[in-house]
Each structure stands twice: as C-alpha cells, then as structure tokens.
Amino acid sequence: MSLTFDDLLLRARALVPGGRRALLGIAGSPGAGKTTLAEHLVRELNGSGEPWVAHVPMDGFHLADVELDRLGRRDRKGAPDTFDAAGYAALLRRLREETDGEEIVYAPGFERVLEQPLAGAIAVPPTARLVVTEGNYLLLETGAWARVRPQLDEVWFCAMDEEERVNRLVSRHERFGKSHAEAVAWVMRTDQRNADLVATTRERADLVVRQSALPAPLG
Ligand SMILES: Nc1ncnc2c1ncn2[C@@H]1O[C@H](COP(=O)(O)OP(=O)(O)OP(=O)(O)O)[C@@H](O)[C@H]1O
Ligand SMILES: [Mg+2]
C-alpha cells in the first residue's frame, strides 16, 4: 500500500522525541512538489496552537545575481554551484546545535519575483522542535553539499511523474513573468539538467514520497 499524507504526518511527528530538535529534509527535482509538501506538513503539524515546526527552504541560499554575474554563472541559476552550499550546511548545523539558548536563528528566504535571496527573512525560534528544510540538492555528495545530509535526521524524496512535473514548472515560470516560449526554453535548458542530477540522488533517500501522497498547493 502506498503512503498517504496522514502517514507522512505521523512519520514527521515521530522524528521529535523528548525535547530534542529534529531536522527533516525534503529533496526532489525542480517542480516536484517539495515546497508544497513542506508547507502542508508545517501547517498541519502546527495546527492552531503555539508553532513548533519551522520551514527553512534551501532556496534562500541562492547566490545573488551580483555574485552570479561576477562568476559568469547567471544563465545557470539553479545549478548546484549557484548556491552557497557551505552556508546552508552551516545554518543546518546551527539549527541542530543551538537549541537551548534564547536566540532566534535567522535563515534567508528567496524572493520569487525578484529571484533574489533575502537575508533574515525567516525566524526560527528556540521553541521550534522540528525544522523542515527542502530543496534540490540535499542528497548531493559533491563539494560542500556532502555536509548537508549528516545534519538531517531523515530525507524524503518527492517523486513526480516527469510530464506533470515539467508542465507545472512551465506554468509557474509563466506565473512569475516569463512568456510561454521563455518558460519552456528555461525548463528544457537549465532546469532539466538539474533535474537529471537530482534524480541520481533518489536512492539515498530514507523515503520516496509518490505523487499520490502529495497534497495540492495551499491556496
Ligand atoms: N497537487 C498539485 N496539483 C497541482 N499543482 C501542484 C500540486 N502540487 C504542486 N503544484 C504546483 O506545482 C508547482 C511546483 O510545486 P512546488 O513549488 O511545491 O515544487 P518544488 O519542488 O518546491 O519546486 P522548486 O524546485 O522549483 O522549488 C507549483 O507551481 C505548485 O503550485
Ligand atoms: Mg520549491
């Protein structure tokens, strides 16, 4: 029998025994539904009470355009070397270690209209017992990405039907201002290469979440 969203909620809850903070990673190709899954988990687990689950996307570690221009990598935005992987791994380590103080740990967000990272956008209070982090490259073993997996208790992999994934990605690029032709070209040229790389990391996941368990986006 395949997993349901309720099974996923139970499994996420079980990661947090006693007072310790747990970190759950969600990996998957561009457009596979990682953010949607994370948002649903966080919303359902937090319920209407005091929030105890935080959402920290890997997306906040995109390098800014000014740095991508300096590196000559602007046209490859989204590839593994266009992120601050070492910074991401270091933040995850802080989230794992700094749990008994009073301090908020701030994480950067990603602004989808500007397509730029935004420092200090996400506050993780010391009371957060579960941190859900999600992105393409959580299971990569090259360079600084290799330091990410050891900071996480479990990593789940979002597996989406390829045709559906590509269609959703194209419509999202259109929603954020690209023409249909530009969106298709970007998805085929840039996103697909990254998607192929991410697909090779699937076997390292603790759990593969199939499309049937993925909820629809929050309205
Ligand atoms: N069940 C669903 N039905 C229809 N559309 C969906 C569903 N789940 C997600 N989507 C849409 O598919 C697109 C990709 O979903 P989402 O942003 O969650 O993926 P992602 O893996 O986080 O992508 P990225 O790697 O680009 O950050 C979004 O536009 C989202 O609204
Ligand atoms: Mg996302």
Domains of the chain: 5-207 (3.40.50.300)
Report how far apart the first and last C-alpha atoms of the chain are (Å, whole number). Answer: 29
Ligand 1 centroid–CA 116 distance in Å is 19
**Would the CB of 214 count as within 6 Å of ligand 1?**
yes
pLDDT interval class at 185 (50, 70, 90)? very high
- Altogether, the residues listed in the chain come to a count of 219
Sheet containing 53-57: give its strands across.
53-57, 130-134, 22-27, 154-159, 207-210
pLDDT of amino acid 11? 97
For 19-74, how does the pLDDT look when each residue is reduced to its tens digit (9 = 90+)? Answer: 789 999 999 999 999 999 999 999 999 999 889 999 999 999 999 999 999 999 99
Mean pLDDT score, 75-88: 96
Q: Which of 59, 77, 165, 168 to mutate to test the pocket of ligand 1 (most atoms within 8 A of CB)?
A: 168
pLDDT of amino acid 1? 62
